Amino acid sequence: MKTPAKTTDDFSITSDGTPGETLRIFLSGHMTFQNLTAVQTELRSILHKMQPSDLTLDMTGVDYLDSAGALALLEMEQYAAQAHIPCSVENMSEATRGIFGLIDRTSVMAPPAPPEKPAESVFEQIGESSLTVGRDFANLLTFLGDLLVALFQSFFHPRSVRWKEFFFYVKRAGLDGLPIVALLSFLLGMIIAFMSSLQLKQFGANLYVASLVGFGMVRELGPIMTAIIIAGRSGSAFAAEIGTMMVNEEVDALVTMGFNPTRFLALPKVLAAILVVPLLTLYSDLFGILGGLTVGVLGFDLTVFTYVHQTIKSISIFDVVSSLVKAMVFAILIAGIGCQRGFRVRGGAEAVGKYTTSAVVAGLFLIIVADSLFAIIFYYIR
C-alpha cells in the first residue's frame, strides 16, 4: 500500500508497504541542513505508524545530499536498530556514496557517553589529594637526588659545566635582581626600625633599635626576603623556560642527542643560584641596616657612629655564616624546584603557566620549612 508523498519545495518522501510487514521509503529531491528537521520528523513518523518488520530507504530520486542529510539517514538507521527493525539503504549515486564516505559511522553509531561520575566525598578528595602530594614529593626527591649527583660530578669534571650559561644566569638572577633586593631590604629596615622604636622609646632604649635591625636582618629577614624575591623572579623564570622547551619538544631532542637534561639545563641554573643568592643576602643585610640607620639618624637623633657601633656589637661571625649557609640551601631549593616543575610540563601554554605558579608556591613553602628547621638547629648548635 502506497502512502501519499510528504513534499516541500525541495524534497519529498513516499512510503510503500503494509503495516507490520516490509516497508520501502522513497526519498527524492534535496536533503540538506535546511530541511534536516523535517526529514527526520517525517521518517520517524512513518516508522512509528507502520511498525514494519524491515525497512528499506530508496535513494533513487535524491538529487543532492550534504553531510547533514547523510547524518539524518544514519540517525534513521540507528533509530530503526533501537526498535529492532532491519534497515538498508539502496540505489545511492556515486556522489551520495562519496558524502557517506566522509562520515565516521563508528562514531555516529556509538552509544551515548556514560553519565558523569558523581561528586567525590570529602574523604575521597582528601585521599586523592594525599596521594597527589605523595607522588609529587617522591618526584621532587628523585629530581633533587639527580641534581645533587650532577653537582657532585661537576666538582670533579668542571669542564662538563656550561660556564657560558652559568655566567648568563649569574647576571640575570644576581645582577639584574640587585635593585629590587636593595629597595625592598632598605624599606624593610626602615619599617623595622620605626615600628620597634615605638615600643623601645617608652623605656628610653632607642639605642637598641640598631641591635634589633642588625640582628633581625642578618639572622632571619635578609636570607628569607632574598630567597622569596629570587623565588618569584628566577624560580618562576627557570620553570617557564624549561617548560616551554618541554612543550616544543626541545628536551626530547636533547635526550635523543645523548645529553642529560638535568646536567645540561638545570645544573648551570642551580650553580648560578648557589653563587648569587648568598651575595644578594649580604646586600640585603647591608641595605636593611642602612634603612634602619636612616630612621635612627633622622628620626631618633642617633649618630652614625653610635648606630654602626651598636650594630657591630649585636652581630657575630656565627650569625653571618649561618645566614650564608641558609642562603645556599634556599638557592638549591629555589632553583631545584623551578627546574623540576619545568621538566613536568606536558601540554601547551596552560601547563606552562600552571607549573610556573606551582614552582613559586612550592619554593616559598620549602623556604619556610627549611628556615624553621634552621632556627631549631642553630639554636642548639649555638
Domain 2-108, CATH among 3.30.750.24, 1.10.357.10, 3.40.50.300, 3.40.50.10860: 3.30.750.24
Lowest mean pLDDT among 185-189, 196-200, 291-295: 196-200
Tell me how many degrees the CA angle 91-96-100 measures, rounded to the nearest 5: 110
- Please report which confidence band the pLDDT of residue 113 belongs to, taking 50, 70 and 90 as the band edges: low
Residue 347 backbone class (left: φ over 0; alpha: ψ -120 to 50; beta: rest):
left
**Nearest CA to 168 among 223, 229, 237?**
237
Q: pLDDT digit string (tens) for 201-211?
A: 777 777 888 88
Please give the pLDDT value at position 153: 85
More confidently predicted of 105 and 283: 283
Please give the pLDDT value at position 286: 93
Please give the pLDDT value at position 184: 93
Q: CB-based contacts of 291: which residues, under 8 Å, 6+ apart?
A: 185, 186, 187, 188, 189, 190, 191, 192, 193, 213
DSSP string, 61-82: EEEEE-HHHHHHHHHHHHHHHH
Alpha-carbon span 122 to 130, nearest angstrom: 12
- Please report which confidence band the pLDDT of residue 370 belongs to, taking 50, 70 and 90 as the band edges: very high
Please give the pLDDT value at position 229: 92
Please give the pLDDT value at position 34: 73
DSSP string, 9-36: SSEEEEEEE-TTSEEEEEEEEEE-GGGH
Alpha carbon of 78 to those of 16, 74, 215, 283: distances in Å?
Answer: 21, 6, 80, 75
- Residue 227 near residue 338 (C-beta atoms within 8 A): no
Strand runs labelled E in 123-228: none
Any idea of the CA torsion for 148, 151, 153, 154, to the nearest 10 degrees?
170
Alpha-carbon span 324 to 371, nearest angstrom: 12
Q: What share of the chain is helix, strand, coil (3-state, %, to 5)?
A: 75, 10, 15
Q: pLDDT digit string (tens) for 303-362?
A: 888 888 888 888 889 889 999 999 999 999 999 999 989 888 887 788 888 889 989 998
**What count of other Cβ atoms lies within 10 Å of the Cβ of residue 220?**
16
What is the average pLDDT value for the chain, to the nearest integer?
A: 83
Range list for CATH 3.30.750.24 in the chain: 2-108
- Residue 333 near residue 363 (C-beta atoms within 8 A): yes
Please give the pLDDT value at position 38: 76
**What count of other Cβ atoms lies within 10 Å of the Cβ of residue 40?**
16
Lowest mean pLDDT among 94-108, 202-216, 239-253, 262-276: 94-108
Alpha carbon of 323 to those of 204, 272, 313, 371, 372: distances in Å?
Answer: 31, 18, 17, 10, 13
- Rounded mean pLDDT, 206-228: 89
Please give the pLDDT value at position 291: 92
Residue 6 parent element (H or E): strand 2-7
Q: Which cell numbers hold the place of 350?
A: 596552560
The DSSP secondary-structure symbol of 244 reads H
Please give the pLDDT value at position 281: 94
3-state DSSP assignment of residue 92: coil
Q: CB-based contacts of 225: which residues, under 8 Å, 6+ apart?
A: 181, 184, 185, 188, 284
Does 118 have pLDDT greater than 70? Answer: no
Lowest mean pLDDT among 16-20, 228-232, 236-240, 370-374: 16-20
- Please report which confidence band the pLDDT of residue 54 belongs to, taking 50, 70 and 90 as the band edges: confident
Q: pLDDT digit string (tens) for 60-108?
A: 777 777 777 777 777 777 777 777 777 777 777 777 777 767 666 665 5
Does 259 have pLDDT greater than 80? Answer: yes
Please give the pLDDT value at position 110: 54
The DSSP secondary-structure symbol of 207 reads T
**Nearest CA to 247 among 348, 110, 317?**
348
- Please report which confidence band the pLDDT of residue 6 belongs to, taking 50, 70 and 90 as the band edges: low
